[in-house]
Amino acid sequence: MVISSAPMRISFAGGGTDFPEFYTKYPGRVISTAIDKFIFIVINHAPYTNHVAARYSLCEDVSHPSELKNTRIREALLDLGIEANIEIGSFAPIPARTGLGSSSSFSVALMKGLYAYIGERLDKREVAEAACRLEIDLVKEPIGKQDQYAAAFGGFNVLQFNADGSVDVEPVLLDYKKRMDLENHLILFFLGTMRDASSVLAEQKANTERNFEILKRMSDSVPVFKEALLRADFESAGKMLLEGWMMKKQLASAISNPAIDTLYEIAMSRGAWGGKVLGAGGAGCLMMLSPVSRRAAVVDALMGGAKAEGFENACEIPVGFVQVGAEIVINSNGR
Amino acid sequence: MERYIQEFSQKAISLLRNLPRVEIAKAMNILQAAYERDARIYVAGNGGSLSLATHWVADFNKTVFSHHLDTPQRRFQAIRVPTTEEELTAWANDVGFDMVFAGPLRNYLQDSDVLIAISSSGKSENIIRAVELARSQTVPVIGISGFDGGRLNLLSDAKILIPTTPGEYELVESVHAIVLHIFTKYFREYFDHVFFSRKSPEAAYVAPVSSTVDRIFAAL
């Protein structure tokens, strides 16, 4: 049995610049951190069954991987030539489609685990690239590359997407005081509704040319945001999130909606500095930076506002940053 | 004689002024990740470097947590390789000195672990063998070297090179001791900060996180 894991992520700035339509013309940049919410993938060799089982939010039991509904598991197994005698399960603390990059964390953990299962080891870069290939080339998701690299590498990084398709991973070297201080200023608020990133991203991808100048400004904001964090100037960082959010809303029609705008306004009126909807947008998680002294008031107001908007399952998700990336937790098939 | 002493200290000061800060920070991130996944951190070196390795293991396993040793808290697992003189001499006598680290390490090393390799020249063959073993398992390597860094510096993920003319063992080993003490002090202060902010939330605000911090001090 192999158990692998990969963290989810929070991205602060530059989302949308990780599409080839953009980074082949101008360097794309994203600043993000891995968080202490992990996807675990369990892969079991079942030699005395002839089946292929996939257990996630659904339970699938089929005789050949091509019959699987789960596109990522299906394409990965077909690509690796694994045709039978395998059971794959996934486990996570948070539902999918919340904007925390979980679908790419899933792919990263899956590829890390499947390669270990066939006796090969992928380093961080190799597993990021394997997950990108799986999601973008094989499954043909209209997504970029930031989440796969964030999950594979772990830690707090600036990712740069170069015209030749390569990705530079530059760590943001925050000491523990700044890191914990930023955690204290950060509110992650789960709206309790999920969304499928694909439709928002497909529109955003199609709009790349129209949005080119906005995307350029978003990419250029990344080093500035990084400098603010290194100075522990979270007020400036928060205000940059507000500017970034105003830009991001112009990228595609479904990134925000009246309910999200209302909650954002509520958080700002209670003293938050700024924030954004994580992931493709439309739903999922609202992240705000706020003075520590205003934090409780912002969360209370968001809870009240969310209930009024009918988000019954809305809640704050406590979050910490982690260095750890994609890992093999257990490999009982030997070393 | 005073002048001789002054010259040594001036060279040491110059090396300390130019410490590879980014690489040391990267090494600390590797150690942080090792802690998060409860990994083992193996340390290897020859002669004076072995002494540095052993000293650091004691610091990292115990001194880092000295202010709250009675707390049921996850600690570092730093381990010097080989762990016994018997293994060291058995491998040296039966197989060769090149295998005194890689030989025993192969028994323990798992993919999630970390290797710290210390070699002033960066060329010690037995150290390079251990690093190659680690790399074959995608185990992150913190390389602590001197002189021109040798192959150790090339093969490492965190490349902590103290550049000197070849043969300056005394300077290199002295600065290596300081680098290792930076690791110790940083993590001691980190865990103290977490511990005391948890114990008295009014003293330093800590968000209500069920996160890394709470996993560290689950019992508080």
Asked whether residue A228 carries a pLDDT value surpassing 80, the answer given is: yes
Whether B47 and B169 have beta carbons less than 8 Å apart is answered as no
| Rounded percentage of chain B residues whose pLDDT exceeds 90 | 84
Q: What is the number of CB-based contacts under 8 A between chain A and chain B?
A: 78
Question: Mind listing the domains of chain A with CATH numbers?
Answer: 2-174+322-330 (3.30.230.10), 179-316 (3.30.70.890)
Confidence (pLDDT) at B199? 64
B213 contacts on A by Cβ (under 8 Å): 180, 320
Give B214's pLDDT tier (boundaries 50, 70, 90).
very low
For B176, residues 6+ apart whose C-beta sits below 8 A from its C-beta are B49, B52, B118, B120, B144, B146, B162
Tokens 């590879």 — which residue?
Answer: B20
Compare A32 and A312 and report the one with higher pLDDT.
A32
Q: Is the pLDDT of residue B155 over 60?
A: yes
Determine the average pLDDT of the residues in A124-153.
97
pTM above 0.90, yes or no: yes
Q: How far apart are the CA of A6 and the nearest CA of chain B, in angstroms?
A: 11
pLDDT at position A24 is 96
Q: Which parts of chain B fold into alpha helices (H)? A: 2-17, 21-36, 48-61, 85-94, 102-108, 125-136, 150-155, 169-199, 212-216
Query: Which residues on chain A place their C-beta less than 8 Å from a C-beta of chain B?
Result: 36, 116, 121-124, 154-155, 171, 173, 175-177, 180, 183-184, 186, 292, 295, 318-325, 327-329, 331, 335
B207 → closest Cβ in A154, A184, A331: A184
B29: nearest CA partner in chain A: A323
Task: Give the per-residue pLDDT at A194.
Answer: 60
| Of A123, A292, A319, Cβ closest to residue B209 | A319
Give the residue on A whose Cα is nearest the Cα of B108. A335
Mean pLDDT, residues A101-129 taken together: 96
Q: Cα distance from B206 to chain A (closest Cα, Å)? A: 6
**Which chain A residue's Cα is nearest to B188?**
A176
List of E strands, chain A: 2-13, 28-45, 52-55, 59-62, 86-91, 156-161, 167-171, 186-190, 274-277, 285-289, 315-316, 327-331
Query: Is the pLDDT assigned to residue B213 strictly greater than 60?
Result: no
Give me the mean pLDDT over the B147-161 stretch.
98
Q: Look at residue B219 in the predicted model and tell me its pLDDT.
A: 37
- Test A321 with B112 for CB contact under 8 angstroms: no
Q: Which residue has the higher pLDDT, B8 or A95?
A: B8
Of A121, A122, A176, the CB nearest to B193: A176
What integer pLDDT is reported at residue A197 of this predicted model? 62
Q: Give the type of residue at A260.
A: I
Q: Whose structure tokens read 């894991």?
A: A5
pLDDT digits (tens, 9 = 90+) for B38-94: 999 999 999 999 999 999 999 999 999 999 888 878 899 999 999 999 999 999 999
Does the pLDDT at position A332 exceed 80?
Answer: yes
The answer to whether A182 touches A234, Cβ cutoff 8 Å, is yes
- Asked if B208's CB is within 8 angstroms of A176's CB, the reply is no
- What residues in B contact A328, CB-CB < 8 Å? 111-112
Poorest-pLDDT segment among A278-287, A311-320, B79-88, B114-123: A278-287
* Of the partner residues A121, A177, A323, the one whose CB lies closest to the CB of residue B29: A323
* pLDDT value at B107 more than 80: yes
Any chain A CB within 8 A of the CB of B218?
Answer: no
Mean pLDDT rounded to a whole number for chain A: 93
Q: What is the mean pLDDT of residues A164-182?
A: 95
Tally of CB atoms within 10 A around B128: 21
Q: What is the pLDDT of residue A334?
A: 62
- CB under 8 Å to A277, separation ≥6 — which residues? A99, A245, A255, A256, A260, A283, A284, A285, A286, A287
User: Per-residue pLDDT tens for B161-175?
Assistant: 999 999 999 999 999
Flag whether pLDDT at A198 surpasses 90: no
Distance of CA B103 to the CA centre of its chain: 20
- State pLDDT tens for residues A60-96: 999 999 999 999 999 999 999 999 999 999 999 988 8
Report DSSP letters for B26-66, one per residue: HHHHHHHHHHHTT-EEEEEESTHHHHHHHHHHHHHHTGGGG
Cβ distance B210 to A331 less than 8 Å, yes or no, reads no
Interface contact B63, partner A, CB < 8 A: no
User: Tell me, what's the pLDDT at A138?
Assistant: 98
Q: Say if residue A249's pLDDT is above 90.
A: no
Cα(A313)–Cα(A296) distance, integer angstroms: 19
Mean pLDDT of A101-128: 96
B89 touches chain A (CB under 8 A): no
B31: closest chain A residue by CA: A323
B190 touching chain A per CB within 8 A: yes
Q: Check whether A279 has a pLDDT greater than 80.
A: no
CB A80, CB A138: distance < 8 Å: no
Is B138's CB within 8 Å of A122's CB? yes
Do A321 and B213 make contact, defined as CB atoms within 8 angstroms? no
Q: Is B4 on the interface with A (CB under 8 A)?
A: no
* Minimum-distance CB partner of B190 among A176, A186, A335: A176
ipTM for the assembly: 0.92
More confident residue, B217 or B168: B168
Q: What angle do CA A193, A186, A98 make, to 5 degrees?
A: 20
What pLDDT does residue B216 have?
46
Residues in chain B closer than 8 A to A300 (CB atoms): none
Kindly state which CATH superfamily the domain B2-188 is placed in. Glucose-6-phosphate isomerase like protein; domain 1 (3.40.50.10490)
A321/B212 Cβ within 8 A = yes
Closest residue of B to A177, CA-based?
B190
A contacts of B137 (beta carbons < 8 Å): 121, 335
Chain B partners within 8 Å of A116 (Cβ):
111
- Name which of A173, A177, A320 is nearest B212 (Cβ-Cβ): A320
Q: What is the pLDDT of residue B55?
A: 97
Q: Is the pLDDT of residue B197 over 80?
A: no
Instruction: Please report residues of A whose CB lies closer than 8 A to that of B211.
Output: 36, 183, 318-320
- The reply to whether residue B206 touches residue A184, judged by beta carbons under 8 angstroms, is yes
Sorting pLDDT into bands at 50, 70 and 90, what band is A191? confident
* Domain spans of chain B, in order of start: 2-188
CB contacts, 8 Å: A324 with chain B = 33, 36-37
What is the average pLDDT value for chain B, to the nearest integer? 91
Percent of chain A with pLDDT over 70: 96
Facing residues of B147 across strands?
Answer: B163
